[in-house]
Amino acid sequence: MPHDINLIATIAAGFGFAMMFGLIAARLRMPPLLGYLLAGIVIGPSTPGFVGDIGLAGQLAEIGVMLLMFGVGLHFSIDDLLKVKAIAVPGAIVQIVVAVGLGALASSTWGWSLGSGLVFGLCLSVASTVVLLRALEARGQLQSVNGQIALGWLVVEDLVMVLVLVLIPALAGVPGGGAITELLLVLAKIVAFVVVMLVGGRRILPRILWWVAQTGSQELFRLGVTAVAIGVAFGAAKLFDVSFALGAFFAGMMLRESEFSHRAAEESLPLRDAFAVLFFVSVGMLFDPSILWREPAKLLAVVLIIVLGKTVAAMLLVLAFRYPLSTALTVGAALAQIGEFSFILAGLGVALGLLPEEGRSLVLAGALVSIGLNPALFKVVDPVRLWILSRSASARRLEHRIDDLDELPQTTDRAMLEGHVVVLGYGRVGRQIGDRLTEAGVSVIAADSNREVVEALRTEGRAAVVGGDAMHEVLIQAHLGSAALLVIAVDDPVVAHRAASAAREILPAIQIVIRSHSDEEASLYRQEGLGAAFVPETELARRMAEHSLAQLGRAPTLP
């Protein structure tokens, strides 16, 4: 009975303090995750008052890790990664190497071993998915090119960390030449597991969801999703000796193949969130606050590596790929923090004897500080950008680089620059519009803020220019002055409004077609005389109604 009471008391205290501190963090416009960590510190053994059962909290946190990784896999999109692969893959790998190098260098001055330094550096190299998603959502940048690059970058970091979590236990304590044999054995097991999941898992798991969904029971569907996540994680560990994290990650990836993937994500979200809170609380319980005054110099070094070292490395890499300064600053700010993977890796390092307890405390302290600073970093992105542009001619050239079609005679037919259509935003909607117009024999010039999209179009022999914050220059580069029509298909209403206003200034008589997000927004476009606006949901309803009337043998009467 005391054991049961202690379990309930630990859970009650964890959730209670997490809610209280999470609410305070949200009121201060900081990520609630910061509050969950503080809740763990409050009920941990390093602070006075009630002390929760660390062992029990750790066991619950294991489930939290599995469900966290399941959620990462459920939202992992190969297509999204491929859109920004040219910058995200090399950028993330180089940034991880830089962070690991800085962490190992710093730890070597503290007398730590090379192995400890490498694990410590890895802990500092990966940003928090939770913090990044919340930050981008709060600023409406989740669907922007800057947001896509940051998310793609983070996906690559997550994939590297998943591999690291699998390999470190296998290599820990293996002497000399045995390490090669052990590594090959582990890789063989990973390959076998991946093959089984790709061949069998992607067929069986979605079908299981289909069978469960046919019952019409929401409760049973939620149970099915949870059973798949934990069952595959457990089976992967038992049959292939891979980590629970990798098994849960692949379970999420395979369920994404199902048409019920969005419902699976929604139904499992409450349970994932609850156990994720317990995970962060359990991490906070292991934190020793005395590290703040015992080792201030070490903590400062950790914070500088996370907030300054990683940020500068990311910014330089983005600029090296010829993206504008705004993209470099946004990506740098997005990655200037650490979170859940860092905690998982630090815990594993301590358990395997590769990382001292002090290292875990420094990692957690660095996370607390960097997560707390992250909102402030995002707020200074625009002021810093304007300050740099006002003082640096090279930065202005980079931000407003000339990317005119006149400089690309090999891909541009001069006849296309008269009476053409400019399609701004070449995503799912814009590409379909451009393809339809091209098939009809209409000349199209695409403008998109993603350089990889533009380069791919040019490779196909299509005319395209790189978009950016300087909307007037983008439209001029696309020869709007001699165009017959402008189609604005971007997903961001702020960018769409700015583009329509800029087009009216350049060519007042230009015909403009705008993708809108609501009837109210479309009405505003029309009232301001900016163009004809179309709402996707309204157009879908119109087409479905017309089709229904046609099936009934009645002439459509819709306006």
- Residue range 472-501, pLDDT digits in tens: 777 877 888 888 899 988 877 777 888 888
Q: Is residue 557 part of a domain?
A: no
- Residue range 380-403, pLDDT digits in tens: 887 887 787 777 776 666 665 545
Are 248 and 341 within one domain?
A: yes
Q: Is residue 218 part of a domain?
A: yes
When pLDDT is cut at 50, 70 and 90, the band that residue 410 belongs to is very low
Are 149 and 249 within one domain?
A: yes
3 state DSSP class of 32: helix
Q: Model pTM?
A: 0.68
Q: Is residue 400 part of a domain?
A: no
The length of the chain in residues reads 559
**Which of 61-75, 366-380, 390-404, 533-547 shows the lowest mean pLDDT across its residues?**
390-404
3 state DSSP class of 470: coil
Are 10 and 155 within one domain?
A: yes
Question: What is the rounded average pLDDT of the residues 165-180?
Answer: 62
Using the predicted structure, report yes or no on whether residue 142 has a pLDDT greater than 80: no
Strand partners, 514: 488, 533
Q: Of 358, 386, 414, which residue is a domain's last?
A: 386
Q: Is residue 531 part of a domain?
A: no
Are 372 and 228 within one domain?
A: yes
Q: Is residue 397 part of a domain?
A: no
* Closest residue by Cα to residue 364 from 46, 102, 75: 46
State how beta strands 444-448 and 532-534 pair.
unpaired
- Residue range 516-538, pLDDT digits in tens: 878 888 888 888 888 888 888 88
* 445 phi and psi angles, rounded to 5 deg: -115, 120
pLDDT at 402: 46
Using the predicted structure, report yes or no on whether residue 316 has a pLDDT greater than 60: yes
49 neighbors 42 (Cβ within 8 angstroms): yes
Q: Of 357, 386, 415, which residue is a domain's last?
A: 386
Which residue has better confidence, 101 or 190? 101
Question: What is the rounded average pLDDT of the residues 140-147?
Answer: 66
- Residue range 227-265, pLDDT digits in tens: 888 888 888 777 777 667 677 777 777 777 666 666 676
Angle of helix 261-285 relative to helix 54-74, nearest 10 degrees?
A: 150
Mean pLDDT of the chain: 78
Strand partners, 444: 421
Amino acid of residue 185: L
Domain of 162 in residue numbering reads as: 2-386
Using the predicted structure, report yes or no on whether residue 13 has a pLDDT greater than 70: yes
* 449 phi and psi angles, rounded to 5 deg: -80, -10
> Among 24-33, 93-102, 157-166, 181-190, which range has the highest average pLDDT?
93-102
Rounded percentage of the chain residues whose pLDDT exceeds 70:
82
Are 448 and 355 within one domain?
A: no
Are 334 and 428 within one domain?
A: no
Number of domain units in the chain: 2
> What distance in Å separates the CA atoms of residue 104 and residue 231, rounded to the nearest whole number?
37
Question: What is the rounded average pLDDT of the residues 329-337?
Answer: 86
Are 196 and 234 within one domain?
A: yes
254 neighbors 202 (Cβ within 8 angstroms): yes
Whole-Å CA distances, 345 to 180, 313, 352: 22, 22, 10
CATH number of the domain where residue 56 is located: 1.20.1530.20
121 neighbors 97 (Cβ within 8 angstroms): no
Using the predicted structure, report yes or no on whether residue 207 has a pLDDT greater than 90: no
Are 350 and 494 within one domain?
A: no
Using the predicted structure, report yes or no on whether residue 77 has a pLDDT greater than 70: no
Are 55 and 191 within one domain?
A: yes
Question: What is the rounded average pLDDT of the residues 57-69?
Answer: 70
Using the predicted structure, report yes or no on whether residue 411 has a pLDDT greater than 50: no
Q: Is residue 539 part of a domain?
A: no
pLDDT at 20: 92
351 neighbors 112 (Cβ within 8 angstroms): no
Using the predicted structure, report yes or no on whether residue 409 has a pLDDT greater than 50: no
CATH number of the domain where residue 478 is located: 3.40.50.720
Which residue has better confidence, 461 or 312? 312
Sign of CA dihedral 205, 211, 216, 219: negative
Are 294 and 356 within one domain?
A: yes
pLDDT at 228: 81
Are 495 and 369 within one domain?
A: no
Using the predicted structure, report yes or no on whether residue 159 has a pLDDT greater than 90: no
Are 371 and 423 within one domain?
A: no
Q: Of 326, 358, 386, which residue is a domain's last?
A: 386
pLDDT at 1: 41
> Among 99-113, 175-189, 406-420, which range has the highest average pLDDT?
99-113
Q: Is residue 31 part of a domain?
A: yes
Whole-Å CA distances, 480 to 66, 182, 212, 419, 473: 52, 61, 54, 9, 10
When pLDDT is cut at 50, 70 and 90, the band that residue 215 belongs to is confident
- The pair of three-digit structure tokens given for residue 56, joined into one six-digit string: 């029990």
Q: Is residue 529 part of a domain?
A: no
pLDDT at 300: 92
- Residue range 425-437, pLDDT digits in tens: 888 888 889 889 8
